[in-house]
Amino acid sequence: MKQKILYIITKDDVGGAQKYVNDLIENLDKNLFETKLLRGGKEIKWLSNKIWPWFLFLNDWLAILELAKIYKKEQPDIIHLNSSKAGVIGSLATKIYKISCHLLHVACPKVIFTAHGWVFNPTNALSLPIRWFYILFHKIAALFQDKIICVSEYDYKLALQYKIAPAFKLISIHNGIDPNIKFLDRETAKGEILKKLPTSDFRLPTNAPWIGSIGRLVKEKNYETFIKAATFIPDAIFFIIGNGLELTNLQQTINNLQLTKRFFFIEPCGEDYKYLKAFDVFVMSSIKEGLPYILLEAMTAELPIVVTETGGIPEIIKNHENGLMVSQKNPEMLAKAVLGLIKNKNIANELKTTAKKIVQEKFNLKQMITKTALVYS
């Protein structure tokens, strides 16, 4: 008999958590599992990543009641919650639903939560009261969760350190990608990116290296450091494929540093990994990450990579083995690493070849699906 899984996610924006859920839905054995996706702001009207303290969290209470009704209607065997807000709201809703399960003498669902990078990560710029607010709510939510999947060993250890849940509830399962994903070839990818640039009266230098990144324009990605690093790399062109709340601030930084003819934002299309081969070097300057899909995709595309040390990234990138790793918020060090890869093609080629091999061996989609299916059983 098939098990029915309800996937709950806070929002439908393109990101790691969304890709994770879609990969599970598409690749789980259809003979064993029936799946359904519920998204905040769509199938779940009141679920939002916003906080409304002036209404005593009225929207959140409405989301809890709404989800409890959905659970009662759907009667799932498994509820799989994703992202912090959905994890807390969805778990509290299961508590209400389980009361009705006991009254009606029906089986209670198994509750799984995947932490895609803990929001209370010490590197995340939060005030102490806000940080402990998140810790408290995750501890409460964990009381109603049967299993918590951490996408990195870093997040697993963080959960133990802050006593979010006992060890028997925690499991680490790395994200994985299809090793056979298709990318646009270099010239096609560059041509498509050039089409997305705003019309202007200047041309990009023909032989300039392209340094790129892909991600949401939010504070956790710390793209300000990437932009500042560009001032130390005079002969390169820089691209970020992504949008988000920080666009205006980042554009202002570019203007202030007089980089408007060398640093560009490209509107995302939903399958932005396809453009990766346009870049000569891929950069991640984040201060908070779980286990980023785009990094695995860049490695699969065989790009030389420079990253900052945060979250689960050190579990993927081994410094000077399959990429270069620098400290956070250090533009000069980031620039030095990028310049080193541009100037030394032999080292760059060795790193990118090893990077692709490591993804194929340790971070493939099949392993992730198999391990997650075992959690469901």
Q: Which DSSP state fits 119? A: T
Reference 34, options 6, 57, 59; nearest CA is 6
CB 78 within 8 A of CB 149: no
Confidence of residue 4 (pLDDT cuts 50, 70, 90): very high
In this model, does residue 202 exceed pLDDT 70? no
**Across 236-250, average pLDDT:** 96
Give the pLDDT band of residue 238 (cuts 50, 70, 90): very high
CB 300 within 8 A of CB 180: no
pLDDT in tens, 206-230: 789 999 999 999 999 999 999 999 9
Write the burial class of residue 161 (CB in 10 Å: 0-12 exposed, 13-18 middle, 19+ buried).
Answer: exposed
Summarised one tens digit per residue, pLDDT across range 334-350 is 999 999 999 999 999 99
Q: Kindly state the DSSP code that residue 44 receives in the 8-state scheme.
A: B
Task: Spell out the SS3 assignment of 192-259.
Answer: HHHHHCCCCCCCCCCCCCEEEEECCCCHHHCHHHHHHHHCCCCCCEEEEECCCCCHHHHHHHHHHCCC
pLDDT per residue over 260-296, tens digit each? Answer: 999 999 999 878 999 999 999 999 999 999 899 999 9
What do you get for the CA distance between the two ends of the chain, in Å?
12
Alpha-carbon distance values, 149 to 25, 228, 275, 375 (Å): 16, 36, 30, 9
Confidence grade of residue 114 (pLDDT, cut at 50, 70, 90): very high
Q: Point out which residues pair with 302 in neighbouring strands.
A: none
Report how far residue 352's alpha carbon sits from residue 362's, in angstroms, rounded to the nearest whole number. Answer: 15
Distance CA 229, CA 283 (A): 11
Q: How confident is the model at residue 55, as a pLDDT? A: 46
Instruction: Render pLDDT for 147-199 as a digit per residue (tens, 0 to 9).
Output: 999 999 999 999 999 999 999 999 999 999 998 999 999 999 999 999 988 76
With H, G, I as helix, E, B as strand and everything else as coil, classify residue 323. strand
Selection from 153, 154, 161, 156 nearest residue 131 by Cα:
161
Q: Of 252-256, 269-273, 327-331, which gets the smallest average pLDDT? A: 269-273
pLDDT reading at 50 higher than 90: no
Q: What is the pLDDT of residue 190?
A: 95
Burial of 232 (0-12, 13-18, 19+ CB in 10 A): middle
Query: Which residues lie closer than 8 Å to 226 by C-beta, 6 or more apart?
Result: 213, 238, 240, 283, 285, 331, 334
In the chain, the domains with their CATH numbers are 3-172 (3.40.50.2000), 186-362 (3.40.50.2000)
Mean pLDDT of 34-53: 81
Judge whether residue 51 has pLDDT over 70: no
Q: How far apart are CA 49 and CA 41, in angstroms?
A: 10
What is the number of helices (H) and of strands (E) in the chain? Answer: 12, 12
Hey, which residues does 151 pair with through a beta bridge?
Answer: none
